[in-house]
A and B are shown apart, each in its own frame.
Chain A
Amino acid sequence: MVHEVELRIGATRTRLTALDEVQVVHDMLQAGSVATLALWRQPGDRPWPETELYRRAKIFTPLEVAIDGHVQVRGVVEKVRVGAGRAGAGLILSYRDHACGAMVAEAPPSLSLRDVTLEEALRRLVEPLSLPLVVGASADDARRVLAGMRPGARAPTGRRTRRRHHVDRFRVRPGTKVWQLCEQLCRRHGYLLYTAPCESGVGLVLDRPAYDSDVLYQFVRRRRDDASSESNILDAWHELDATQVPTSVSVYGHASHAAREDARHKATVVNDRLTGPRVEAFTQTRPWYRRDPKARTPQVSTQKARRLIAQANTNLDVLTVAAQGFGQADRLYTMNAMARVDDEETGASGDYLVTQVTLARSRKGGTTAQLRLVPKGSLVIEPDEGA
């Protein structure tokens, strides 16, 4: 399938399709990945500074990247690199979506986030930045837009709860990035926070791993009886990585300063992911010990311990797949979607969750997609007790 990649740059959204290199990154676990666009001219061509595109491509110039007419990124140029060498003259634009402003800006310490809903707290954090961000954009709509589904099509993801959770107590310290605070708040309440283009700008999407959604993609690599192979995988690696994974986590906490009694507590949680057919029986222990000033009850300490284990397990079992093209069955690859994998070469088999998608096109590499997948159920978001 041939995919059309279009850059729309500037306030007038001037279109440009002849891109030598383009990259789009979607990551539900780490927003703000920088992506790049590159154009090359041959030696002897007019220098880039004399071109209209160079004049338009300034720092903070708005841009959109669309694939097959579906907007994948809506953001701004943050870096412009122009130069020439033996390979030719290059103009490389690095960009992120509009939420990048929240990753650079810091929140004012005078901000009060107490006794407001989670969505209201996010709104108070991002509104002063004057970014075109839509707080609480629908995860279903985001997935539909990114996957290039037809308008009105219902992304089969199941129900999503409304975010009326109340923020109990949350202090803003000078020097803390707005995005970091938004993520902390969302994780406390059991949500992932990521961004995706929506109708009026960029949506801040509060979501949970879509394990209950329909499988959208299939990745197969099998040998047939006749020695030929059936495969839509260019490259795939399955990595089990326990280098930074504890066997248990203990969290120490203390009752609130204003409580009737001063009470210490400790919660220990064992990492039950370190079992299974691919894990040797292990008698050694690799415990972690943490003191958490926000763990004011034993229940919160337990949740903290579970969260630390879940974070450490994020890279425990990861499948990386590279495929030709930007999608399957008229759907572009998108994050927080389910894929079914059957790969004899790695032994990976079953349903996996897509956590990151990198779509890249270049003359050298062609049109490819690289996906990061984790086994269904392995990504766990632990909210604070009572959140």
Chain B
Amino acid sequence: MDTAELASVAVELLSSTDPRDIRARLVRLALEEATADRCTLTSVDRGVFRVEESYEPGGQPTFVGHEYPLSHLDDQPLMARALSSGEVVTGESLATPHTPPELAPALQEVRHSAIVPLHLGTEVGAVFVLSRKRDEPFDPAALQRIGEIGGVAVLSLHNARMLEGVTAAQRRGLDALALFSQHLATSESRTVFFGRMSETVGGLTGAQRVAYWFIDGDELRVQPEAYGFAGVDIAAMTMTLQAALSAGLFGVLYAGESARYKRQQAAGPDSPLAPPFVANLLAVPWRTSEASLGMLVAYDSASGFGEQDEWIMRLAARASSLVLQGYTAQQRMLQLQADEMGRLREHGARMAAVDRRKSDFLKLASHELRGPLTLLRGYISILQEGTIEPLPAKLMPALDRMDAEVSRMNELVGQMLAAIRLEHGQVKVEAHETRVDELVRKVVNATDAGARRVVVEAPEPALAFADRGQVETIIGNLLSNAVKYSPDGGDITVAVHGDDTAVEVDVRDQGIGIAADEVGDLFRPFSRLHAAELRGIDGVGLGLYLSRELARAQDGDITVASEAGSGSAFTLRLPRRRAAPLPVAPEEA
């Protein structure tokens, strides 16, 4: 081949990005140029020889891929000379005790061999190994030309390999990102996450072991979910922060630096950072934005730890610290929530207890009040009846007054107890079809309206679906209010009417009425009208509250229409019988 041809070959080779392609073409070219019977291309990279491509005429270039370390050079004087001199070396046999068996038969037949170093700058990047079976030495000029093409070739091979390396690195990086993201998204617990991360880092970096070292007080300890530590007592792997700093780990722990250790450099022969079984390690910082968590350490990669590995590990450490922060934040949130819930529950329980104590006390007090009331009532009645001794007539009004007061006290105690029971849901409604008109008449008859006229307007039977006793209580209350709040007399009308859905009882009086601004509070417990207080009308203010609660318990209600000075009208509304029950589904045949 002349210069021009050489040039075009060179261009062609340089433009190829496929190392396989380059190698294949190279061995072919070399074989043809040197008219050899066999040509192999062996690369020299970081102390390791790799027989890449091999070619024989009539066949196809085949990828061998066999690796052997530098030490084997001791048995290969030709190779050793070629590498150290950088010059073409020729010889006869190539066979050595280390020759791989698959090449041995071929080598026995070799009469002449040549080793052509291919330079990459000042270094030998690869060698051609040429052999001839026939007993004819190689043409040195041909070997020279091969060397020149080879130089170009090695450059492109190197570029291609670099590109391949970069592509591989890119791929690894993307894989790393994808895997880490997956772990982030799917790990259901811290333990699972750290376990997966350690394993993935191991896989991507080629490390045999991966461990997260975390700072715990003044110690560094290993996260239990470490990778590749089967059979090792991880719990025993601790070191004091002091020792770590003395071992030169300040940079990793606090200054964001990485640290690579080889066996001989590891911090002391017994350092737990590099246990005896470790040959090399890479440590990267593991930190949050605010503090140092510790470090991520990968141990024993067969190919050593490169920049890419460091990049992957830093990424893993970053992801882990985010997760840790996330988990911590989440745990803090959950704790806060739990604390809040706890406080709320406690508060609720306290309030309920206070409530219960209050009502228990009220219940007790109310009942106790009935004792004295019984006696008062009893003795007043005895005096009134004159059974001990007839009393002077002029004392009777006084006794009547006393009786009335005691009665009222009794009523109030009853109302208080009813209110307490209502509040504690102890009131049961037993609803039946009830003749409201009859109830009205009964209550009116039993009520003392003094000098007032009570008119009942209930021309028709009025059936409601309600609890008889409770309706009686309500009507009684409304009626007694009507009486109480018309101290100057006037008529009281009780009208019963209704429509399809409900029965209504209107209780109207011509009394003091209710001011507009007091209507809102009317049904609240213990609320009393100003006017009532002024007029000396007694009461505790529970009647309407109780009545409305009772009405609502029957699915009814009480409403009011009133104006100050012109009387009031209270309306009790009660539901009629519910609509006919839904038809029953026909029985299965």
The answer on A and B forming one complex is no
User: B: which residues have CB within 8 A of A?
Assistant: none
User: A: which residues have CB within 8 A of B?
Assistant: none
